[in-house]
Amino acid sequence: MQAVITKQKAFFQSGATRPYAFRRKQLLNLKTMLETNEKRLMQALKDDLHKSSFEAYSTEIGILIHSINHTLDNLKAWMKTETVKRPLFLRFTKATIRKEPKGTILIIGPYNYPVQLLLEPLIGALAAGNTAILKPSEFTTNTEQTLKELITETFDETTVAVITGGVETAQKLLEYPFDHIFFTGSPRVGKIIYKKAAEHLTPVTLELGGKSPCIVDKSADLAITARRIVFGKFINAGQTCIAPDYLLVDKAIKSDLLEKLKLTIKDFYPEPKAELSRIVNEKHFDRIVDLIDNEKVVHGGSHDRKTRYIEPTILDDITHDDPIMQEEIFGPLLPIITYTDINQVIDTLKTKPRPLALYVFSEDKTFTNRVITNLTFGNGAINDTIFQVTNPYLPFGGTGLSGFGNYHGKASFDTFSHHKSLIDKSTRVDPPIAYPPYTKRKMTLIRRLLK
């Protein structure tokens, strides 16, 4: 560990990572790695999480290739030194912002999207001219090993290296003074990362989670609403940080929506045991199953610990006091809370931790604007779920307990870049107003200039 980090820091200090050509080559190498080893990565994801080939490609491999292409198309523009305006009293200066790499980056990935959420930050780190140490999740062992082998084959360890292991390995890594730490995972672990980073004053990006609400207004198109909620909730067996965690549904349309949700689940997953992803391990399986209140199950509820399968499950007549509402579910359970007054809903949500995502289904723009304006959340969608994460032009990140810092597209480049501000002052003139001795006349002039 020490040797690899030392090599990377020395390589970065040599300046070799800074040129555009070097950055472009690393991104192309990463793209080739993904394209050439698509089947191998898909098999690892199948072995770990029972992901279908469609889910594995669309949510892990394909989305990364798209992100790399977007970055390659825009990298030169992002790297350019930016000239900015200056106030009148600096009229004889030129003001610029230079985008420089930060150094050696530590990226700690999660288990739910173990390829995408480890390599998406790497795209930004490489684009910005950094070196990177990757720590994949130890819970997805096949993907962890596959990524280690592929990264080692693709990159020199002075540029990108993978270090594997469990909690002890992560704790040891955090002892080193990285130039930026990027972590995706739970708020509990995020606090540990933040505390350790503070010892070195290392900047961090925390992509965490939380209970993301989904509000359904009585004006919503219920057929489309049901399809988009079921898709966003049950993809990857609910193990998605921006999945709609629970529904807040207007009482007037609750029964109709519930029936459409049930029909949509049957339509999407005619053979759910064959088609759905699995919970990552038995510990998380047990935690999720314990949240099922059989008296409130209105659809699904079956599960198999041997295969870590949990059927898409809907629970009705839920309140904010129920056990299922005390933590992020991160599984295929969909609780429904009924409301009659959206103002009460807003007031209640204001008392909760700020979620990573929020969703509103409504054809009433006044209703939608009331919700969006009065509630704070990391990102979200109107009449859709989770697709906001696929737009590289939108920065992605949380707020409060759901994390801080942004990435994706240019936001990734900016996150892993130091923005160095400079002024370049002419020596042809040297106005004496700023220099002592200070006179009444100078004071009069400075007051005018600083208005």
DSSP alpha helices (H): ranges in 50-183? 53-56, 62-79, 116-127, 141-154, 167-173
φ/ψ (deg, to 5) at 140: -105, 80
How far is Cα 135 from Cα 148, in angstroms, rounded to an integer?
A: 9
CA dihedral (220, 224, 228, 234) in degrees, to 10, reads 110
311 CB contacts (<8 Å, ≥6 apart)? 272, 300, 301, 302, 303, 332
Residue 315 CB-half CA count within 13 A: 24
Distances (CA, A) of 435 to 94, 189, 432, 442, 448: 21, 52, 5, 9, 17
> Is 241 a known active-site residue?
yes
Question: Is residue 335 classed as helix, strand or coil in its secondary structure?
Answer: strand
Q: Which of 55, 60, 207, 328 is catalytic?
A: 207
CB-CB contact of 333 with 294 (8 Å): no
How far is Cα 105 from Cα 107, in angstroms, rounded to an integer?
A: 6
Q: How many CB atoms lie within 10 A of CB 286?
A: 12
Nearest to 61 by CA among 20, 114, 108: 114
φ/ψ (deg, to 5) at 75: -60, -45
How far is Cα 246 from Cα 260, in angstroms, rounded to an integer?
A: 16
Query: Which residues on adjacent β-strands are paired with residue 266?
Result: none
347 CB contacts (<8 Å, ≥6 apart)? none
Rounded to an integer, what is the distance from CA 142 to the centroid of its chain? 23
Q: Which of 55, 144, 214, 241 is catalytic?
A: 241
71 CB contacts (<8 Å, ≥6 apart)? 27, 123, 124, 127, 409, 412, 413
87 CB contacts (<8 Å, ≥6 apart)? none
Question: Is residue 152 classed as helix, strand or coil in its secondary structure?
Answer: helix
Task: Give catalytic residues, as residue numbers.
Answer: 207, 241
